[in-house]
Amino acid sequence: MTRAHYSFSDQLRLLIPAGLSLFLVLLGVVPSVVHGLHLYPEIVILLTCFFVSYSPAIWPLWFGFLIGLLQDLVRGTALGPQALLVMLLTLALRRRAGRLNRQNFRVLWLEVTVMTVLYLSALWLIMAWVNQVWMPIWPTIKSMIVTVLWYPVLHLLLQWVLPMLPNMTPRK
Amino acid sequence: MQRWQVPHSLTASSTRLIVQRMAMVLLVVSALSLIAFSRAQNETIAAARMATLERLAPVFSLLAKPVESWHRIGGWVDGVMTAHQQNQKLKNENDTLRHWQSVALALKAENQALRELMQYQPVSGATYISAKVTGDLGGPLSQRLLVNAGREEGVKSYQAVVDAHGLLGRVMSTSPHSAEVMLISDVTSRIPVIAADSRDRGILVGRGEEMMQLSFLSPSHRVKVGDMIVTTEDGGLMPPSIIAGTVFSIKNGTVWVRPVRPVTGPEFVRIVQHHSH
């Protein structure tokens, strides 16, 4: 199924996940008390998990690369690691997307937990290699916990977005 | 001679598949190249990064407006609710400050007299550039800020960044009107410091959290809990005597330093233009 199968209005509605993702990634940069306490989740992981699980077609690989690159930019990490990891996460989730779509919330949350741990552990290793210094693990573990705890909230909020998205079955 | 006829739909889908695979490989190679260039601290990548951040700065400011309004309303409500208590606290602080003002004036006069006696030449002077924090670029693996002053305003890489409480970090990269500040708590931060009382020199190492480690101390150091840690001019990058924190604990020979207040969340900062003589 390609984007050529969708009507113009459907294509416009396909921009909703992209726009929402951009907004939420940039929101993480806003200086606030909440962010100072590092209570903002690694939002890209949650968005990728949600959208790819529900409909891989609305989260193309190139968009994963771009949103990961933006996350690299605004999180002060080296450029590249999150672009790579979001793509790998997208590919991994796509293989399971059909099955995940039929799973209940608890299984999805477990999947998000596993993916968050793998993603942030890989990021920690890559950043240690880039900075040539072993980084303390505790801030990463804290970030894993915060991210996993945020998923139910994001899941609930994104349920309102799903009806706005076009029907993912190809048009006749 | 038999000729193989390939169905058109099959060719199209195969071509699409090949293009998709090639695009995927290209993206992965691009990401890996970026990582490699970042490790090598490529200047072009750093400049591109700063240029993009500067272009995004107005978006950050726009998104920050509701948060700033919320903080202002919260601050106003808090001010009204605690006006009496604050008034009392300010009166007490005022009394204390008056006392310290007279002490400072006496010390200044004494210092001046001693300098004249010793024919002392000041070793450095500093001017400041004020800037607003437009973005918190921090995460679990880095602690950085984006501020709205850059090369055009006189900001240069490695300049110290302070707020009212002491050292916050230093400038890492600049664009015409923005600068990226690495906080002292960042894991890659290394600041030459000295213990104010014992005069032991060391390097303040960021650990990615509030607490920082004081490393490279002499084995016979006399640093103790509660000592003030300030910057030194060693290396010529930092202006001297900016408070970086206080010694919080010494465990198994490791000296832990806590900033005077948490380094995250400042609204305004000052960038120090250090003029060494």
Please write the tens of the pLDDT for every residue from A79-90: 899 999 999 999
Q: Chain B residue closest to A132 (CA)?
A: B39
Amino acid type, A112: V
Q: Name the pLDDT band for A171 (thresholds 50, 70, 90).
A: very low
| pLDDT at residue A35, rounded to an integer | 44
8-state DSSP, B204: E
Compute the radius of gyration of chain B from its Cα atoms.
Answer: 26
Assess if residue B140 is contained within a domain: yes
Asked which of B65-74, B93-102, B183-192 is least confident by mean pLDDT, the reply is: B65-74
In the predicted structure, residue B50 carries a pLDDT above the cut 90: no
| pLDDT at residue B25, rounded to an integer | 92
Q: Name the pLDDT band for A37 (thresholds 50, 70, 90).
A: low
Assess if residue B246 is contained within a domain: yes
Alpha helices in chain B (DSSP H): 8-39, 43-81, 83-118
Q: Which domain holds residue B137?
A: 127-273
Assess if residue B78 is contained within a domain: no
Assess if residue B42 is contained within a domain: no
Count of domains for chain B: 1
| pLDDT at residue B10, rounded to an integer | 61
CB contact under 8 A, B35 and A78: yes
In the predicted structure, residue A65 carries a pLDDT above the cut 90: yes
For residues A31 and B132, the answer to whether their CB atoms sit within 8 Å is no
Q: Name the pLDDT band for A70 (thresholds 50, 70, 90).
A: very high
Angle at B91 between CA B88 and CA B96, to 5 degrees: 130
The mean of the pLDDT values for chain A is: 83
**Which chain A residues are within 8 Å of B38, Cβ to Cβ?**
78-80, 130
Q: Name the pLDDT band for A2 (thresholds 50, 70, 90).
A: low
CB contact under 8 A, A132 and B39: yes
Closest Cα in chain B, distance from residue A104 (Å) = 30
In the predicted structure, residue A18 carries a pLDDT above the cut 80: yes
Closest CA to B206 of B154, B151, B169, B246: B169
CATH code (residue B184): 2.40.10.340
Asked which of A43-52, A60-69, B83-92, B118-127 is least confident by mean pLDDT, the reply is: B118-127
Assess if residue B133 is contained within a domain: yes
**Which chain A residues are within 8 Å of B205, Cβ to Cβ?**
none
Q: Chain B residue closest to A26 (CA)?
A: B60
Assess if residue B241 is contained within a domain: yes
Assess if residue B24 is contained within a domain: no
Residues 6+ apart with CB under 8 A from B80: none
Assess if residue B122 is contained within a domain: no
| pLDDT at residue A46, rounded to an integer | 93
| pLDDT at residue B247, rounded to an integer | 92
**Which chain B residues are within 8 Å of A86, Cβ to Cβ?**
none
